[in-house]
Amino acid sequence: MSERESMPCDVVIVGGGPAGLSAAIRLKQLNEELEVVVLEKGSEIGAHILSGAVVDPKALDELFPEWRTMDCPMSQTPVTDNWHWALTKGSKFNMPHLMMPPLMSNNGCYTGSLGNMTRWLGEQAEGLGVMVFPGFPANEAMFDDKGAVRGVITQDMGIAEDGSQKPDYQPGMEIEAKYTLFAEGARGSLTKEMKAKYDLEANCEPQVYGLGIKEIWDIDPSKHVPGRVIHTQGWPLSESDSWGGGFLYHQADGQVAIGFVTALDYKNPYVSPFEEFQRWKTHPAIREYLEGGKRVAYGARAINEGGWQSVPKLAFPGGALIGCAAGFVNVPRIKGSHTAMKSGMLAAEALAQAISDGKEHSEVAEYEATLRESWIADELKKVQNAQPAVAKFGGDFGTVIAGADMWMRTLKIGLPISMKHEPDYELTGRADLFKPIDYPKPDGKISFDRLTSVSFSYTNHAEDQPVHLQLKDADLQKASELEVFAGPSNRYCLAGVYEWITEDGQEPKFQINSQNCVHCKTCDIKDPNQNINWVTPEGGGGPNYPNM
């Protein structure tokens, strides 16, 4: 058996997204002598990045003031006009942006592929001397004898499904670091461990989530308006007592990014976020743009929706949470990359100072204090009641309440309350209280089936490896997930990973098609019993998003 190798560094960053790379870049800007390592589970930087995206450049302006002249792909398409539609089944009503608080404006923002912007950030990081390792998931945290994080161990390569070692087995590497930043995105596996070990959520609301599904389309050039941004709310989720909304962004090269977010606090276990997205595309106002076009990419990701009141304690001995691992998404703006990047920069500044002072494995409280006084806090406090207002009072009345609260907070006269959350999995209702939903069959032109869609995410996992979707108790899954809730895993999963199969009169069998997994993490969030645990598969596995 091969021995693990050890690699020392000053800072190791778990996750090569905008937050992690911004932290790495800022560290090197502050002290070029620092040894900084970034571990990314995807096959390349950007392979697992998925977002709408309309990007507020506020943090990017701070990180690279000249980014618009540095061949950053996000600079291609400034936002030119904004539309917000309230949809009914066959019509739409345009909600004037003048009715919305100024913070909801997209003026000065850019629309494009966050994955490509992340690839660009990776190039900038490597140019500064950051050691970037794609295809190396951090699988395990290491602790010193005082309980502080002292680094991570990367995933072993070449383990068979039965746990035996294949001929090409390679043990993971120990990355020893003075400090470790966790930038895994929403619902990261090591982030969950840190939250539990250090009780980071003791004084905040539980995190809640939405599921964002996205496609890229090449559309008829005559219908393309570069920089046009459209958001929708209402139909079709209004028919299933759920809430969320859609988007359609006109980006570079004649493409539009379309997507749909379903809040995961829905009660009806027969709701299928994937099918709701397919229905949404058939609305006349959306179909109009897609007809005559061609879908070229598909994917999905869970999104933090808890807001400011769900931000946990950020710093702990030897490490800290940054980006969506901590939950800095501005839900009504549908933006989180700018706050994620800024959090990484603030953490980098605090760690650089701590290392300069000769500290290591300490709790860098300066990061937490600075962030909670930063523009991240100012922005998120203004919208902290938007998500829970809609969740509690519904799409129509809740939107009015959310808008009023945002206006008052903008004018610094907001209500002195912070609305609470309930975990998404606790809100799933018993199947006998609801009727199944009859979703229309896909037409193969505008709407599609699940497995065909997964092929457009270019997902792949190495054959014969341990299943990374760990079922804790098979008997509980049958007795509860199937018999009480009618098997919602078959509907909340948008990649066809979960199936209940009955053959020749035998007992139903829970089948996990882990090869299909696009790493959205919805199962880890929405399973009614928290009986499914998502962990990292072998390095490089998962989606390979080309332009998301």
Specify the pairing of strand 228-234 against strand 81-87.
Answer: parallel
Q: Give the C-alpha separation, 177 to 438, whole Å.
A: 53
- Does any domain span residue 132? yes
- Does any domain span residue 430? no
Average pLDDT for 464-470: 96
pLDDT band at 260 (very low <50, low <70, confident <90, very high): very high
Q: Give the C-alpha separation, 108 to 31, whole Å.
A: 31
Say yes or no: 371 and 489 in one domain.
no
Q: Give the C-alpha separation, 229 to 383, whole Å.
A: 21
Q: Give the C-alpha separation, 300 to 50, whole Å.
A: 7
Nearest to 207 by CA among 383, 346, 329, 364: 329
Say yes or no: 255 and 319 in one domain.
no
- Domain hosting 247: range is 76-110+209-303
- Does any domain span residue 1? no
What is the predicted pLDDT for the residue at 394?
A: 73
Average pLDDT for 302-331: 97
Say yes or no: 217 and 284 in one domain.
yes
Say yes or no: 413 and 269 in one domain.
no
Say yes or no: 128 and 248 in one domain.
no
Mean pLDDT of the chain: 94
- Does any domain span residue 58? yes
Percent of the residues in the chain that have a pLDDT greater than 90, as a whole number: 87
Say yes or no: 282 and 392 in one domain.
no
pLDDT band at 1 (very low <50, low <70, confident <90, very high): very low
Of 269, 303, 337, the residue that ends a domain is: 303
- Does any domain span residue 540? no
Say yes or no: 233 and 330 in one domain.
no
- Altogether, the residues listed in the chain come to a count of 548
Q: Map tokens 């129509």 to a residue.
A: 396
Q: Give the C-alpha separation, 62 to 193, whole Å.
A: 32
Structural domains in the chain (count) = 4
Q: Give the C-alpha separation, 107 to 100, whole Å.
A: 13
**What CATH number did the domain enclosing 185 receive?**
3.50.50.60
Q: Strand, helix or coil at 172?
A: coil
- Does any domain span residue 223? yes
For residue range 163-212, what is the model confidence (pLDDT) as tens digits?
999 999 999 999 999 999 999 999 999 999 999 999 999 999 999 999 99
Say yes or no: 168 and 47 in one domain.
yes
Of 382, 407, 428, the residue that ends a domain is: 382
Higher-confidence position of 383 and 51: 51
Of 367, 382, 397, the residue that ends a domain is: 382
- Does any domain span residue 541? no
Q: Give the C-alpha separation, 123 to 241, whole Å.
A: 45
Say yes or no: 145 and 247 in one domain.
no
For the beta carbon of residue 318, count every other beta carbon within 10 angstroms: 25
Q: pLDDT at residue 466 above 60?
A: yes
- Does any domain span residue 433? no
Percent of the residues in the chain that have a pLDDT greater than 70, as a whole number: 97
**What CATH number did the domain enclosing 446 receive?**
3.30.70.20
What is the predicted pLDDT for the residue at 407?
A: 63
Say yes or no: 347 and 480 in one domain.
no
Say yes or no: 30 and 92 in one domain.
no
Say yes or no: 129 and 100 in one domain.
no
**What CATH number did the domain enclosing 80 receive?**
3.30.9.90
